[in-house]
Homo-oligomer: A and B are copies of this chain.
Amino acid sequence: RRSYTITLLPGDGIGPEVISVAKSVLSLAASLEHISLQFDELPVGGAAIDLTGAPLPAETLAAAKSSDAVLLGAIGGYKWDTNEKHLKPETGLLQLRSGLGVFANLRPAVVLPQLVDSSTLKREVAEGVDIMVVRELTGGIYFGNPRGFRKDDKGEDFGFNTEVYSGSEIDRIARIAFKVARKRRGMLCSVDKANVLESSMLWRKRVSALAAEFPDVELSHMYVDNAAMQLIRDPKQFDTIVTNNIFGDILSDEASMLTGSIGMLPSASVGESGPGLFEPIHGSAPDIAGQDKANPLATVLSAAMLLRYALGEENAARRIEDAVIETLNMGFRTGDIFSAGMTLVGCKRMGEEVLKSV
């Protein structure tokens, strides 16, 4: 019997609801595959601030680091929005990513045939979209120094941040992206702003230099403003996209919204070694928290990614993914993906239906 420890970080808003569903699904899939999972549940984000005064308690990070993989719900909420930086839920998430060294964030944006009408794009534009955004997650303007506030002699206030990448930071994320592209349709589009920014010029240079190592992957480059357009004009032109932290934040959210069902989209963040971090791409949705309205499928699919990428348990991962498709095929829909003729269900019930098909 293979056995693993999973850190569960429910977080804020709808986080606890979706994590609870994902935990049941994970448990069942694991036991059917004769895997034993031990769960360790800890606070992060706003919940951790309220409980311990810090958005990422040392205990939470330590538990995460010593486990085999981390499954996160969501963090943030109006309540903590005006907190100072070191007391923001988001800061806890950034500390977690950085603490785990998960520099590569993989965000698939797939339009499922069952949900193509949820997209605001015309059917013929949305149908068949299957994009993987590989976002650099522990560098760039999110973490660059110097950063902060200053006043000049005249009393003028300034706020500033540093966008910075080293060659090796670029190389390691690009390598992962090339490998991901190789397993997909073999096309990698690197997105930057190399016509203006020096950080992007280095990015483009290093990514281009690596292309020789991956002759089977077709590399192209695109400016970020153009990419924001092309994702809407013709999303099917993209296979794998690799980009920096801030551009990845923007473009992966844009790409996910093309699918019309961000309640369905998982993500995986991985490093060179150590436990990976798996989370739905949606936020904490404080407006519907605690109302049993959340779509748990993004977190359930994140759990499947966890089984596949962190634990190498392909069969258990497949069980979950197939169960989700089966549940959709049977017509069950949460509010965010509901359309006429389908059966509207809440978060818990959706979980129960998935369990039946695992």
Contact = CB atoms under 8 A, between A and B. Distances in A.
A225 interface: yes
Interface string A169-193: 0000000000000000000000001
A238 interface: no
A197 interface: yes
Per assembly, the copies of the chain total 2
16 contacts: A90-B195, A94-B196, A120-B121, A120-B232, A121-B122, A149-B198, A157-B167, A158-B164, A159-B203, A160-B162, A162-B162, A162-B163, A193-B246, A225-B250, A226-B253, A228-B250
A110 B230 CA distance: 18
A37 interface: no
Contacts of A203: 159
A81 B64 CA distance: 45
Interface of A: 76, 81, 85, 88, 90, 94, 120-122, 125, 141-142, 144, 147-149, 156-168, 193, 195-203, 224-226, 228-234, 246-247, 249-254, 256-258, 262
Given A76-B195, A120-B233, A160-B164, 6 more contacts: A120-B122, A121-B232, A147-B197, A224-B250, A230-B257, A231-B254
Contacts of A249: 193, 224-225
